[in-house]
Amino acid sequence: MTVTPADAAKRGGPSAIAQLKERAKHIAHDVLSPVVRGLAGLGIKADHLTWLGLALGVAAGVAFFDGQSQLAAGLLLLGGVCDILDGELARRSGVTSRFGAFLDSTLDRLSEAAVLVGIAGFGVRNLETLAFEPERVVREIQSGLDPVSWVVLVLLAMLSLVGSFMVSYTRARAEGLGLECKVGWFERPERLVLLMLAGAIHRFWALAGALLLLTVFSIATAVQRMVHVWKNTRGAGRD
């Protein structure tokens, strides 16, 4: 019997998006399984990959700042692979720990912040250049790029940073209260994919559009989690 997304929702089962994400996760783990075995054989530990992921995230931020968005996209891809491998390697090695999970989440936040700050810095850098090169201002306006566009890009990068942190914070705070809070589909993997695509396209409109979507969907996910916690506390008479 075929179960539609609506049926799944009515029965309290996972949504179609959640099922798709879970399927993609399993495929990625299956593909990378030989790599995990090889890394374990070389004595590489999960924490090494966690720190490498941070280094790649910072490098991606620097690349965005320097206007090399395609290089940044490649670095983000490698960082995403490290993010998958560290958890798998920890489980395979049997050395999972609460501190390891804490370190992984903390460094992920730093990595994402480095990327978004790098994009904001790219916007500020271009604004500074325009202030000293009036002829470039004319060229950009003629090509349809108003100087205000760079201001918008910087603001969107900062709002994206707030949104991404709110997604993580709402879940962490809920779990700190003893509540499960895995609702909302726009999490770190989706944010990384969006930024990778924008970087690979290497166009202003792609980067600005990605930041706008990241802001809107991140804030929507944070709101979803706030509503979820309300329903399971005050809405359920538990407060």
Place of tokens 């999960």: 46
158-181: average pLDDT: 92
Give a yes or no: residue 1 inside a domain: no
pLDDT the model gives residue 6? 45
pLDDT confidence of residue 108: 92
Judge whether 2 lies within some domain: no
35 or 123, which is more confident: 123
Q: pLDDT digit string (tens) for 95-104?
A: 778 888 888 8
Q: Is 30 a catalytic residue?
A: no
Span of 22-36, 74-88, 204-218 with lowest mean pLDDT: 22-36
Contact in structure between 149 and 155 (CB atoms under 8 Å)? no
Residue 167 near residue 214 (C-beta atoms within 8 A): no
Above 80 in pLDDT, residue 19? Answer: no
User: Which pLDDT score, from 0 to 100, does residue 41 have?
Assistant: 78
Range name among 56-60, 108-112, 157-161, 186-190 with the lowest pLDDT average: 186-190
pLDDT of 52: 94
The pLDDT of 227-236, averaged and rounded, is 83
Integer Cα distance of 44 and 13 in angstroms: 38
Question: Which residues contact residue 212 at a Cβ distance below 8 angstroms, ignoring those fewer than 6 apart?
Answer: 156
> Is pLDDT of 28 > 80?
no
- Could you tell me if residue 8 is inside a domain? no
Structural domain containing residue 123: 15-232
Res. 14 pLDDT band, cuts 50 70 90: low
Q: What percent of the chain has pLDDT over 70?
A: 89
Output the CA–CA distances (angstroms, integers) from residue 153 to 4, 85, 126, in the order listed. Answer: 39, 32, 11
We report the CATH number of the domain holding residue 159 as 1.20.120.1760
User: How many structural domains compose the chain?
Assistant: 1
Q: 30, 83, 108, 239: which one is catalytic?
A: 108
pLDDT digits (tens, 9 = 90+) for 195-218: 999 999 999 999 999 999 999 999
Q: How far apart are CA 77 and CA 60, in angstroms?
A: 10
Query: Sorting pLDDT into bands at 50, 70 and 90, what band is 1?
Result: very low
Res 96: pLDDT: 73
User: Does 50 map to a domain?
Assistant: yes
Backbone angles phi, psi at 28, to 5 degrees: -60, -40
CA 138, 140, 144, 150 torsion-angle sign: negative
Indicate whether 86 belongs to any domain.
Answer: yes
7 within a domain of the structure (yes/no): no
Name the one residue in this structure whose structure tokens are 């730093």: 110
- Please give the C-alpha separations between residue 222 and each of 139, 161, 187, 210, in angstroms, as whole numbers: 40, 13, 10, 18
Evaluate if residue 143 carries a pLDDT over 90.
no
Mean pLDDT (the chain) is 86
